[in-house]
Amino acid sequence: MTETQLVIIGSGPAGYTAAVYAARANLNPVVIAGSVTAGGELMNTTDVENFPGFPEGVQGPELMENMRAQAERFGAEVVYDDVETLTLEPGAHQIVTALGARYTAKAVILATGSAYRELNLPNEKKLSGHGVSWCATCDGFFFRDQHIAVVGGGDSALEEATFLTRFASKVTLIHRRQELRASQAMQDRAKADEKLEFLLDSEVAEIHGDESLTGITVRSTVTGETSELPVTGLFVAIGSDPRTSLFADQLPLRADGYLEVDGRSSKTAVDGVFAAGDVIDSVYRQAVTAAGSGCAAALDAEHYLAGLESAAKQSQGVDAAAAATAAPLGS
Ligand code: NAP
């Protein structure tokens, strides 16, 4: 069992920024970064053009590597493992990892982020990795000169679709409404791309294929009419949901499923447990806002731990004074 001041669960911009701040405050944080998901969602992104400080943009994985290196430089320990169980007990929260490591922590920062949504259609899971994907930067290369469909109308879908035109012969973006949700800049870029066509007011009704994807059935959300699209790649980019399964039975969640925190702070309902990033943010969900919220969580944790330490010192002082006054009486 390793006793620690602070364990940070998650290694996206929120987790690593919390680690930078906590390490600089000499809290020696342990970051449980995830075995395959270390670095979080930005590891699957290409150009990040809106993270301040990079006038020419930066690649998502490079940004995350830099954040990790910065946290380690100040003494954060980054562990590439997954948390299997988390038991919240104020003063000594227990963390057990998939590889069997055990930690107790006086404070915990939950920066578990969010997980990609699925269409929940038959064959979707079976053909995952065989034509159906959630990550264009990971899998796009496999679809050279093929016809690919992307589902969704947000920034992720348009970014993925635009990226995929580098490889594909054609990309069809399928969105359930007429209006796209993506930012105007992203829409302008996508609409200028000659390889990209838009199938609006449409949804994926069926996914076909035994060993690998052979096509999809698309249904109009207006008329209900269906048509076949013989794509060999289907990229699902319909947003994500907060990852709360580790602690959903121990901490109150909001009605929309996000973890509840106290006002603008990062404090959860359990003493010494703080949260940051996409797991608490249903509105902004940007790398820079996640980083800011990681900073806030580290500052809240630091304040909490300082309070514990001064309370411990005070009670030691009271005990010593009581012993000193009790001694003559007892002797
Ligand atoms: P999002 O903004 O929540 O968009 C999800 C899209 O998927 C929406 O268009 C939604 O349709 C659609 N959708 C949701 N559930 C669906 C379902 N079951 N079937 C079909 N379509 C469905 O998610 P996101 O695009 O992943 O973006 C998340 C956040 O990250 C946003 O704040 C975004 O701005 C940000 N982001 C930024 C960048 C960047 O700046 N470079 C890149 C990627 C993401 P409706 O529109 O009808 O709801």
313-331 burial, b if ≥16 CB within 10 A, otherwise e? Answer: eeeeeeeeeeeeeeeeeee
Atom of ligand 1 nearest to the CA of 47: 41
> How many of the other CB atoms lie within 10 Å of CB of 296?
21
Q: Strand 30-32 to strand 2-9: parallel, antiparallel, or no bridges (unpaired)?
A: parallel
Per the prediction, the chain carries an average pLDDT of 95
Q: Are residues 217 and 174 in the same domain?
A: yes
In the reported structure, the alpha carbon of residue 268 is separated from the centroid of ligand 1 by a whole-number distance in angstroms of: 27
For residue 328, being part of any structural domain is answered with no
pLDDT tens digit sequence for 213-223: 999 999 999 99
Q: Are residues 9 and 106 in the same domain?
A: yes
Instruction: Please state the length of the chain.
Output: 331
Report the nearest-CA residue for atom 23 of ligand 1.
239
Q: Are residues 210 and 258 in the same domain?
A: no
> How many of the other CB atoms lie within 10 Å of CB of 81?
17
For residue 172, being part of any structural domain is answered with yes
- State which residues form the domain around 160: 132-236
Band of pLDDT at residue 316, cut at 50, 70 and 90 = confident
For residue 326, being part of any structural domain is answered with no
Q: Are residues 171 and 311 in the same domain?
A: no
């109308």: which residue's tokens? 153
For residue 157, being part of any structural domain is answered with yes
**CA 67, 9, 241 angle in degrees (round to 5)?**
95
In the reported structure, the alpha carbon of residue 84 is separated from the centroid of ligand 1 by a whole-number distance in angstroms of: 29
184-191 helix and 155-164 helix, angle to the nearest 10 degrees: 30
Q: How far is CA 92 from CA 4, 99, 102, 272, in A?
A: 9, 20, 12, 9
Tokens matching residue 65 = 């590597």
pLDDT, residue 139, reads 87
- pLDDT of 281 over the 60 cut: yes
Band of pLDDT at residue 76, cut at 50, 70 and 90 = very high
Q: Are residues 159 and 223 in the same domain?
A: yes
- pLDDT of 118 over the 50 cut: yes
Q: Are residues 110 and 252 in the same domain?
A: yes
Pocket test for ligand 1, best of 118, 124, 151, 156 (most atoms within 8 A of CB): 156
Report the nearest-CA residue for atom 33 of ligand 1.
155
Q: Are residues 82 and 182 in the same domain?
A: no
Q: Are residues 108 and 19 in the same domain?
A: yes
pLDDT, residue 331, reads 39
SS3 52: coil
In the reported structure, the alpha carbon of residue 175 is separated from the centroid of ligand 1 by a whole-number distance in angstroms of: 10
Band of pLDDT at residue 137, cut at 50, 70 and 90 = confident
60-73 helix and 13-24 helix, angle to the nearest 10 degrees: 20
Pocket test for ligand 1, best of 179, 238, 286 (most atoms within 8 A of CB): 238
Which of 202, 236, 270 is where one domain is finished?
236
Which of 236, 260, 290 is where one domain is finished?
236
Count how many domains the chain has.
Answer: 2
Residue 249's CATH number: 3.50.50.60
For residue 323, being part of any structural domain is answered with no
pLDDT, residue 104, reads 98
In the reported structure, the alpha carbon of residue 272 is separated from the centroid of ligand 1 by a whole-number distance in angstroms of: 33
Band of pLDDT at residue 231, cut at 50, 70 and 90 = very high
Q: Are residues 80 and 53 in the same domain?
A: yes
Report the nearest-CA residue for atom 41 of ligand 1.
48
Averaged pLDDT for residues 33-48: 88
pLDDT tens digit sequence for 200-213: 999 999 999 999 99
For residue 262, being part of any structural domain is answered with yes
Where in the sequence numbering do the catalytic residues fall? 135, 138-139
Atom of ligand 1 nearest to the CA of 158: 25
For residue 156, being part of any structural domain is answered with yes
First to last CA, the chain: 41
pLDDT, residue 330, reads 42
Separation between Cα atoms, residue 26 and residue 24, nearest integer Å: 5
Q: Are residues 140 and 159 in the same domain?
A: yes
Separation between Cα atoms, residue 260 and residue 258, nearest integer Å: 6
Report the nearest-CA residue for atom 4 of ligand 1.
154
For residue 9, being part of any structural domain is answered with yes
Cα-to-chain-centroid distance, residue 226: 35
Pocket test for ligand 1, best of 181, 189, 219 (most atoms within 8 A of CB): 181
Atom of ligand 1 nearest to the CA of 177: 47
Which of 170, 201, 236 is where one domain is finished?
236
Confidence (pTM): 0.81
Q: Are 38 and 11 in contact (CB under 8 A)?
A: yes
Q: Are residues 19 and 84 in the same domain?
A: yes
In this structure, the residues whose C-beta lies within 6 A of any atom of ligand 1 are 50, 117, 119, 151-157, 159, 176-177, 181, 203, 238-240, 285
Q: Are residues 196 and 93 in the same domain?
A: no
In the reported structure, the alpha carbon of residue 19 is separated from the centroid of ligand 1 by a whole-number distance in angstroms of: 28
In the reported structure, the alpha carbon of residue 157 is separated from the centroid of ligand 1 by a whole-number distance in angstroms of: 7
